Structure 1
Amino acid sequence: MSEEMKTIKAGPFTLVARFIDNAYRGVMWADGEMVVDIRRATLDEVWRALCDALYEQQISLAAARLDEPTAAEIAKVFVRIAHQLTAGHKAMLRAHLNASDQRITATQLAKAADYATYSAANLQYGILGAMLFAELPIDLPMRKDGSRVMTCTIAWGDNARNPDEEHWVWRMRPYVAEGLAASGIL
């Protein structure tokens, strides 16, 4: 029997994928109840199916939300996920929070976190956005390929304000800025 297993906690959901009873099986739990039960040929296939199911659950929750989150809600989320944040995540959040008008480019985020390129900052800010989204889903814009822009959990593109800007500018959502400051995690 294989000892392979993958698990993650994402907001109210817990995902577990493992080899059991001679098959690869994945289960998603919420509040002690099984929400999804998946069987596939490999552990990776089970994990992908579980992540897709989680994404669909979160999109449904986001669509049902009629207003944006409050600063108090996002502060609680930051406290809950603080142990998952890397030094780079915290450096980017600090730089963004302290930036003039809370507007910052990915290049500036990369410099703040000591990443070599803006693409590394984009990746890490997207991962951070996904962590926030897992805890407190909101409706997010879609890319042409249908995937959601997870960074928009933290900020929105603010280049419409100045289309002549050379680099893409992220403007931190006001409730994120207020909640981040109130959380005390930085």
Structure 2
Amino acid sequence: MSQDQTHEYRGYRLVAKPAENGAKCWAWRDGVPVHKLTGCDVPDAIQMARKEIDSALGVAAREGEAGDKAYTRALEAILPELSTGQLKMLQAHYRAPEHIMTATELAKAAGYSNYSGANLQYGNLGKALHEHHPVDLPVRRNGTLIYTCALADSPDLAPTATEDDSHWRWRMLPSLAFALRALGLVEQ
């Protein structure tokens, strides 16, 4: 029998396990079970719990005027924590044609030796931003959120060259571009 899976999410501890006819996930807050959700499997139950928490917290949209202001506040809040490489990636991404870059191009802009460093740092940046401005994010098969999607989406919805992450094209979200301009981090 498989073990419980435990994840932290927006101040909640999610505990999921297989159950008869699917899986169950409990969302605990301050030692008290607040939500109990059912899914077809453990990752689905975790995703259902995240959606329930997001709904209870009033998770905002990524785009539009409200998204622009929220992204500006969130970016301003995390600005002191950004590494030089993360800031360089944001600025290069903004300056790229149509705000589109691959992970390899982002790595080069930040001075990382390969795309793995860029993926890690951009994902960490997306997670930090997401903690200040929660938005609906896609979930991997293993139940983890794809935090880079708090910063960008993919215009292709598929890798451009191979299944290799280095060739995935990321398009910066318009609300993030707005925030960079509003905070004077890029030239208009």
TM-score, scaled relative to structure 2: 0.64
Q: 1:184 Cα shift?
A: 2.1
Evaluate the alpha carbon distance shift between residue 164 and residue 137 of structure 1 in structure 2; reply closer, same or farther with a 3 A threshold: closer
Counterpart residue number, 1:85: 82
Q: 1:165 Cα shift?
A: 4.1
The answer to whether the Cα contact below 8 Å between 1:110 and 1:120 also exists between their aligned partners in 2 is yes
Alignment of 1:15-164 (within 5 A): 36-37=30-31, 60-61=53-54, 64-65=58-59, 67-69=61-63, 70-160=67-157, 164=160
Q: Report the secondary structure of 1:170's partner residue.
A: strand
The one-letter amino acid of 1:149's match is: I
Q: Name the % identity.
A: 36
The runs of 5 or more residues in structure 1 that have no matched partner are 1-9, 14-34, 39-55
What CA RMSD, in Å, does the superposition of the two structures yield over aligned residues?
3.1
**1:10-56 deviations in Å (ceiling 9; x for gaps):** 99x6xxxxxxxxxxxxxxxxxxxxx5259xxxxxxxxxxxxxxxxx7
Q: Report the secondary structure of 1:177's partner residue.
A: helix
The one-letter amino acid of 1:155's match is: A
Q: Report the secondary structure of 2:30's partner residue.
A: strand
* Residues in 2 aligned to 1:88 and 1:109: alpha-carbon distance in whole angstroms: 9
The answer to whether the Cα contact below 8 Å between 1:71 and 1:176 also exists between their aligned partners in 2 is yes
**1:109-151 deviations in Å (ceiling 9; x for gaps):** 0000000110110000000000011001111111111111000
Evaluate the alpha carbon distance shift between residue 72 and residue 106 of structure 1 in structure 2; reply closer, same or farther with a 3 A threshold: same
The answer to whether the Cα contact below 8 Å between 2:85 and 2:111 also exists between their aligned partners in 1 is yes
The answer to whether the Cα contact below 8 Å between 2:91 and 2:185 also exists between their aligned partners in 1 is no
The runs of 5 or more residues in structure 2 that have no matched partner are 1-8, 12-28, 33-48
The answer to whether the Cα contact below 8 Å between 1:62 and 1:138 also exists between their aligned partners in 2 is no
The one-letter amino acid of 2:84's match is: A
